[in-house]
Chain A
Amino acid sequence: MFEQLAEGALLAFRLDTILMIVIGLFSGMLVGALPGFTTLMAMAILLPLSFFLDPLVGIPFLLGVYKGGIFGGSIPAILVSMPGTGAAVATSIDGYKLTQKGESRKALDVALFSSVIGDTFSDIFTILMIFPIAFLVMQFGPPELFAVLLMSLVIIVATSRSNPLKGLVMMLFGLWLSQVGTDPIGGVERFTFGLFELKSGIPLLPMLIGVFALPELFYAVMRNEKVGGFAKLVGERLSKAEFKRCIPTIRRSTLIGTAIGIVPGLGQVVAAMMGYSAAKNASTHPETFGEGEIEGVAAAEAANNAVNGPTLVPLLTLGIPGDNVTAILLGAFVAQGLRPGPQLFEEQGTVVFGILIAMVIANLMFVVIGYLSIPLFSRIVTIKTGLLVPIVIMFAFAGAYVFRSDTTDILILVVFGVFGLLARAAKFDVMPMVMGFILGSALEYSFGQTVAMAGPSPLSFLFTERLGMLALLIATPIVGYLLWRRMKTAAP
Chain B
Amino acid sequence: MIWNTLKKAAGAALVATLFLGSSAFAEYPEKPITLVIPFGAGGSHDLNARIITSTIPSHLGQAMIVRLSPGASGQKGTQEVANSAADGYTLLFSHNYVDMLQQHVENLPYDPAKAFVPVARVNYAPIAVVVRGDSKYKTFGDLIDGAKANPGGVAMAHSGNWGALFVPAAQVMKETGAQFNLVPYKGGGPAMQALLSGDAEVTMGFPSVLGPLVQSGKVRVLATAGPDRIYDDVPTFNEAGIKGDIGFMHRVVLAPSGTPKDVLNKLESAFSALQEDKSFNRLMKRMGENTDLLLGDGYQKLRDDQSGAYKTLVDSITK
Contact = CB atoms under 8 A, between A and B. Distances in A.
Given A314-B193, A327-B43, A453 B287 contact: no
A48 B50 contact: yes
Nearest to A323: B42
Contact of B212 (A45, A186, A339, A405): A339
Interface stretch (B64-72, B121-129, B167-175, B260-268): B64-72
B161 interface: yes
A248 interface: no
Given A44-B42, A341-B216, A453-B183, A331 B211 contact: no
Interface residues of B, number: 56
Residue from B67, B71, B192 whose CB has the most chain A CB atoms within 10 Å: B71
B40 to A, nearest CB: 6
A14 interface: no
Interface string A327-362: 110110011110111111000000000000000000
B213 A196 contact: no
Contacts of A41: 41, 68
Interface residues of A, number: 58
Contacts of B160: 184
A322 B161 CA distance: 19
Contact of B50 (A44, A186, A200, A339): A44
B122 to A, nearest CB: 16
Interface in B27-75: 40-43, 46-47, 50-51, 53-54, 66-73, 75
A281 interface: no
Nearest to B150: A455
Interface stretch (A25-33, A135-143, A423-431): A135-143
B161 A185 contact: yes
A342 B210 CA distance: 11
Nearest to B212: A341
A199 B102 CA distance: 14
Contacts of A405: 67, 69
B288 interface: yes
A265 interface: yes
Contacts of A6: none
A452 interface: yes
A25 B187 CA distance: 29
Contact of B286 (A182, A318, A337): A337
Interface string B274-304: 0000000001001110000000000000000
Given A48-B50, A138-B197, A340-B212, A321 B189 contact: yes
Contacts of B50: 44, 47-48, 51, 331
B75 A342 contact: no
A322 B193 contact: yes
B218 interface: yes
B196 A138 contact: yes
A398 to B, nearest CB: 17
A324 interface: yes
A318 B193 contact: yes
Interface in A429-461: 445, 448-449, 452-453, 455-456
A445 B73 CA distance: 15
Interface in A46-92: 47-48, 51
A40 B70 CA distance: 13
A447 to B, nearest CB: 12
A17 B296 CA distance: 44
B113 to A, nearest CB: 19
A141 B53 contact: no
Nearest to A338: B286
Contacts of A245: none
A322 B190 contact: yes
Given A343-B216, A452-B183, A456-B152, A182 B190 contact: no
Nearest to A331: B47
B134 interface: no
Nearest to B182: A452
A275 interface: no
A239 to B, nearest CB: 41
B109 A196 contact: yes
Interface string B58-94: 0000000011111111011001000000000000000
Nearest to B74: A200
Given A44-B68, A139-B197, A339-B212, A187 B162 contact: yes
A196 B68 contact: no
A456 B212 CA distance: 35
B209 interface: yes
A325 interface: yes
Given A44-B41, A335-B283, A342-B218, A453 B155 contact: yes
B278 to A, nearest CB: 12
A210 interface: no
Given A341-B212, A344-B212, A455-B181, A322 B189 contact: yes
B118 to A, nearest CB: 24
A208 interface: no
B148 to A, nearest CB: 16
Residue from B42, B43, B79, B160 whose CB has the most chain A CB atoms within 10 Å: B42
A405 B75 CA distance: 15
Interface string A302-324: 00000000000010001111111
Nearest to B79: A196
B146 interface: no
Given A328-B41, A455-B181, A199 B189 contact: no
Contact of B73 (A182, A185, A320, A321): A182
6 contacts: A314-B189, A320-B190, A322-B189, A327-B46, A337-B286, A343-B212
| 10 nearest CB pairs, A to B | A341-B212, A327-B42, A200-B71, A342-B216, A48-B54, A324-B42, A200-B72, A199-B72, A331-B47, A138-B197
Interface of B: 40-43, 46-47, 50-51, 53-54, 66-73, 75-76, 79, 105-106, 109, 152-153, 155, 160-162, 181-187, 189-190, 192-194, 196-197, 199, 209, 211-213, 215-216, 218, 283, 286-288
Given A321-B42, A449-B184, 20 more contacts: A40-B42, A44-B42, A51-B50, A51-B283, A137-B193, A142-B199, A187-B105, A314-B189, A318-B193, A318-B213, A321-B187, A322-B193, A326-B42, A328-B41, A328-B47, A339-B212, A342-B216, A343-B216, A344-B212, A453-B155
